[in-house]
Amino acid sequence: MEPIAHLNLEDPLGDARRFALETMSHHPFGFSLPQPFYNDERLFQLDMQTIFEREWIFAGMSCEIPAKGNFITLDIGHNPVVIVRGDGDAIHAFHNTCRHRGSRLCSTEKGKLAKLVCPYHQWTYELDGRLLFAGTEMGEDFRLEDYGLAPVALTEAGGYLFVSLAENPPDVSDLKAIFDSYLSFYDMANLKVAVTTTIEEQANWKLVLENNRECYHCNGSHPELIKSLYEFDDTEDPRATPEYRSLVARKQQEWDGLGIPWKMSWAGGKRNRLTRTPLVEGTVSMTMDGRAACRRPLTHQGLEDMGSLRILHLPNSWNHFVGDHAAVFRVLPLGPQRTQVTTKWLVHKDAVEGVDYDVENLSRVWDATNAQDRRLAEENQRGINSLAYRPGPYSPTYEYGVIDFIDWYRTTLAANLGSSPALSL
Ligand code: 3BY
Ligand code: FES
Ligand code: FE
């Protein structure tokens, strides 16, 4: 496909780009960002161009499209994307826009179809994107093969689906390796979504991520979550108490004996982190009573106390896998101060609702936690919008995860600004 020409007469983001590069080059390490990064429309657009249209974005799980013709959609800013399973287990991702006059093709979040048929004038595409039918009135020179759907880069890693809108997406081999190895332990092809929630937070996407990257606020804000989750973000948390460290050592020995992977792994610098941490002693799941919410395990092995496998994917996902279910979170920016957060609770596909699990019990802890985090992020945004806001220091021990996220953000922003011909100064 021809590259898309950008209207660049006045270079509307030129100032934003210069501001971002200039500010980032002086920004003190370990401090929150200057105000415009959290609330300005132009810097938001810059984030979309340099991060969300370039990096690998968590889209969904392959178990959501188990059969040929199953699809899911998502919007990355103004870019509707559709992911569909085709022949022979192949998964395809496309820009969800018709090659006739651009209508969006699939308008629901998920579904099943035999072909991709445009609702406007019924141009019809094969599941691999080839245009099959465009009526009989397109003129003699019209060639179906010139109007296939525009592909979007897709990576499947351990049952996760990532898409990148970039022409040359970042290398992803290390991501694939760690996801495939960690998640092979789970029956990923045989999971299903038990329930999904989508909330909109009136806060910049980076505030949603920053809030997730620390548990400084957990004791004060998350009474349900701290019943099962320790405030330590990983097994090397600098604040970890001797009791926690000895619990970690004990559990790791136990997990080694059972063949349950737990080692902390990184990919893409600070982009991905996978690690298993113990749950609060006496609990095996993120539920109100700490007991499993689903009788069917996620693994082939059965229901052991396997703590939580915590998966971080920047810029837009965090995840918890406990023995009986998983909670996967997807963040998509909607505007400078608006962010969509979608949570999916996964269980084994053979688990029967009302018999093996109860949706309310399954989702209660993270439903409450999401609502609490939403209020925190929104209050954070309101205060940042003040004339008096100045970047403030992150705690090196309590907020090292936030420091890592901001460091990833500024490095990625600078690298992508510098490397993109369309965006270079
Ligand atoms: O568990 C999480 O996903 C993050 C880390 C700590 C706070 N927050 C709930
Ligand atoms: Fe899709 Fe016309 S816009 S068929
Ligand atoms: Fe929180």
Q: CB within 8 A of 79, min separation 6: which ones?
A: 53, 95, 165
pLDDT tens, the chain, 425 aa long:
566 666 666 677 888 999 999 998 889 999 999 999 999 999 999 999 999 999 999 999 999 999 999 999 999 999 999 999 999 999 999 999 999 999 999 999 999 999 999 999 999 999 999 999 999 999 999 999 999 999 999 999 999 999 999 999 999 999 999 999 999 999 999 999 999 999 999 999 999 999 999 999 999 999 999 999 999 877 888 889 999 999 999 999 999 999 899 999 999 999 999 999 999 999 999 999 999 999 999 998 887 899 999 999 999 999 999 999 999 999 999 999 999 999 999 999 999 999 999 999 999 999 999 999 999 999 999 999 999 999 999 999 999 999 999 999 999 999 998 754 333 33
Separation of alpha carbons 294 and 349, rounded Å: 11
Ligand 2 center from residue 99 Cα (angstroms): 7
Whole-number Å distance, alpha carbon 100 to ligand 2 midpoint, is 5
Residue nearest to atom 4 of ligand 2 (CA): 121
For 57, the 3-state DSSP assignment is strand
Measured by CA distance, the residue closest to atom 9 of ligand 1 is: 212
Q: Is the dihedral of CA 18, 22, 24, 25 positive or negative?
A: positive
Picking from 188, 159, 151, the residue whose alpha carbon sits closest to that of residue 176 is 159
Compute the distance between CA of residue 54 and CA of residue 26 in angstroms, rounded to an integer: 24
> For position 90, what pLDDT does the model report?
97
Q: Closest ligand to 125 CA?
A: 2
> Ligand 2 mean position to 69 CA, how many Å?
20
- What is the SS3 assignment for 340? strand
The residue whose two tokens read 């780009």 is 17
The whole-model pTM stands at: 0.95
Could you read off the pLDDT of 336-375 as tens digits, one per residue? 999 999 999 999 999 999 999 999 999 999 999 999 999 9
What is the predicted ipTM? 0.90
**H/E run at residue 313:** strand 308-313
Q: Whose CA is nearest to atom 8 of ligand 1?
A: 212
Identify the pLDDT of residue 14.
86
Q: How far apart are CA 46 and CA 16, in angstroms?
A: 7
**pLDDT per residue as tens digits for the range 364-414:** 999 999 999 999 999 999 999 999 999 999 999 999 999 999 999 999 999
The angle that helices 14-26 and 400-419 make with each other, rounded to 10 degrees, is: 130
Residues near 69 by Cβ (< 8 Å), separated by ≥ 6?
A: 84, 85, 112, 113, 114, 127
- Is the shortest distance between the CB of 120 and ligand 2 below 6 Å? yes
- List Cα–Cα distances, 155 to 90, 124, 185, 203, 365, in angstroms: 11, 25, 19, 29, 31
